[in-house]
Structure 1
């Protein structure tokens, strides 16, 4: 409880705002932890942090890096559930926590099973939902799958829509969301990126030797379900480029998805300049991203982070919900077509003016103060 003394010396007692943040995957952790920390550091809030454990090992690394511990840890993946079972288990377990804690608002992020179940559990109890990174849309229900439909459904449950960009706001307005409920705040991933790149921690010798060698590093990541059948086309482009250019290297932290790993090991060149790595913790990955020459990815988060580091990004997807990055010139949509990826990579390697056209553009995803803005908006919402 807060005790406030007014000008006429009357004592007023204000109840703290109880906020429950629900996180389950590594990307959610990276993007939500700056906000969780901001809430914990503000005396107006009582902050409850729930980790569903959807990405247990990977998320635990992120929590350790940022020195944050959850109040509840569900460890749902110990049961090895299917996608529909993940939703059901999180919904049931979160409902128990909501009944116990009775938060004033529940915060969810993005488009995962944890996000959908968290928003639905709160809605069933008529608890307001705050959706971080609201309004992302491809308008293709199967791309990305199932994330696109998850985020659209969560939007229907949401009370406060925290959109990263004006484009995201426009998407929400087109779906008849009331404008007064939409707040353009930037993306919390930039808060996390600026925080972690300012740290001075040890890097494994294997990664350090890659970062410090004389080659141009091309960072590669692929994991999208909808791309699985076409990953060989992406890897064919990598094989061609590594053969044609002696001054480059590819660094590929491989996703845990067995289907992705099978294709990687079967398709990619065994050239010593193609470095296949296990998934990296966020600090090491951010250092690798910062040292790269450019990036080829189907990841959503990297499309937001890399422009803050002035790194060109070739997006290996047919469509992207980060359209403002395309419009700003920080991203280039190349799909999974072998020839397109090769041609765009050659332009980045051989045309300095083309390369610089990416890096001199403004990052449309924020200034590193998004968490502060969200905290202020939640305060105003409850004070009014």
Structure 2
């Protein structure tokens, strides 16, 4: 057997852990890879809450997260800590997912140490540098730093080509979220909500910076007004960020039809999505999970980097105003034709199998020679368009 390629998979947030886990599992099935999970702890408790769901644990934990750090401070600390790891145990390739500060640090650190870098979920764009912030800026910078770009759709591929990325470095693989959902959804879970006859269940999640302050207050006002009508039960998953959690508690606590939930394990979260009559969220990941589960989604944003979910009819952009919030929820529940369209299961980012595709591509892209250096073998690459 030839030399095993060391691959570092950097993870900082819950969505990154969920989407990276299927790829780590797929890579570890091959003898030619030594795969190490590196946590930045941008979100706390990822190892116990998410990785354990997939029977994974961290190989390294970077000393980069401390409470109340600014984006720049976290980026700087992560770069320093990751740089030390790269020097101590140089990998042949680094992988990161999405558009977080962790992903940006992974791309920058790899480039500074001249290590190959692969970007999962590459090519997503809103075409507005400040929406969402800082994610749109992060993914544009990552796009210029990455060696390999694994995109969830042909739309994302076209975005990268338009920005000057060579087409031979772009691979349309689908999204590994579908692998994660397929691995977890069948597990039996007890849900934290009662079965109340005649009342709709709306699952709500809010965490984007663009919804901090006034937008969040407007959304909370919409939740309260609809809850008082006594026809809807709202289940609000509170993000640990104090700018979200404290306001939601202050505004929504004490209402009979409003239930404030702490973050839950991923299997329970999927069951909540699956059994909700409607999902209202500003999350990017839920725009991928909701359509494959056949659940209708109202997106609390003005734009999205995932136009595929709009095109398939599973979701609608509604912004954050109180009036739009109330109007759109009432329309979804009163318009049966619309509801049927939005609840039709769809796979806008492909079905399960993205992790295996990426694994196979990496297996052919990276191969060891006698000096343990890694080169690109493009002659043996499959046609991935």
Report if TM-score (shorter chain) is over 0.5. yes
More helix by share: 1
| 8 Å Cα contact 1:54-1:75 kept in structure 2 | no
| 8 Å Cα contact 1:20-1:48 kept in structure 2 | yes
> How far apart, CA to CA, are the structure 1 residues paired with 2:196 and 2:175?
33
SS in 1 for 2:34: strand
> How far apart, CA to CA, are the structure 2 residues paired with 1:311 and 1:87?
36
> How far apart, CA to CA, are the structure 2 residues paired with 1:23 and 1:306?
23
SS in 1 for 2:121: strand
| Aligned pairs for 1:83-94 within 5 A | 83-94=71-82
| Aligned pairs for 1:1-384 within 5 A | 2=1, 14-78=2-66, 81-200=69-188, 202-203=189-190, 207-208=191-192, 210-214=193-197, 215-228=199-212, 229-244=214-229, 246-268=230-252, 270-360=254-344, 362-383=346-367, 384=377
| 8 Å Cα contact 2:236-2:258 kept in structure 1 | yes
> How far apart, CA to CA, are the structure 2 residues paired with 1:136 and 1:262?
31
How many residues align? The count is 366
> How far apart, CA to CA, are the structure 2 residues paired with 1:313 and 1:121?
36
| 8 Å Cα contact 2:63-2:78 kept in structure 1 | no
SS in 1 for 2:50: helix
Tell me which residue corresponds to 1:10: none
TM superposition shift of 1:311? 0.3
TM superposition shift of 1:80? 5.0
* 1:74-114: CA deviation from partner (whole Å, max 9, x where unpaired): 24324653321211111111111112222111101111111
SS in 2 for 1:318: coil
> How far apart, CA to CA, are the structure 1 residues paired with 2:231 and 2:323?
20
SS in 2 for 1:353: helix
> How far apart, CA to CA, are the structure 1 residues paired with 2:66 and 2:242?
17
TM superposition shift of 1:254? 0.6
| 8 Å Cα contact 1:56-1:75 kept in structure 2 | no
Say which is worse superposed, 105-114 or 337-346, in terms of deviation.
337-346
SS in 1 for 2:6: strand
| 8 Å Cα contact 2:236-2:259 kept in structure 1 | yes
TM superposition shift of 1:182? 0.8
SS in 2 for 1:217: strand
SS in 2 for 1:198: coil
> How far apart, CA to CA, are the structure 2 residues paired with 1:287 and 1:358?
18
Moved >6 Å (runs of 4+):
none
RMSD: 1.6
TM superposition shift of 1:66? 1.4
For structure 1, the residue ranges without an aligned partner over 5 or more in a row are 3-13
TM superposition shift of 1:71? 1.0
* 1:220-272: CA deviation from partner (whole Å, max 9, x where unpaired): 0111111112112212222222223x332110011111121232133337321
Q: Structure 2 length normalisation: TM-score? A: 0.91
> How far apart, CA to CA, are the structure 2 residues paired with 1:352 and 1:243?
23
| 8 Å Cα contact 1:51-1:72 kept in structure 2 | yes
> How far apart, CA to CA, are the structure 2 residues paired with 1:140 and 1:263?
27
| 8 Å Cα contact 2:37-2:60 kept in structure 1 | yes
TM superposition shift of 1:211? 5.0
TM superposition shift of 1:277? 1.2
SS in 1 for 2:337: helix
> How far apart, CA to CA, are the structure 1 residues paired with 2:24 and 2:201?
34
TM superposition shift of 1:163? 0.5
TM superposition shift of 1:295? 0.4
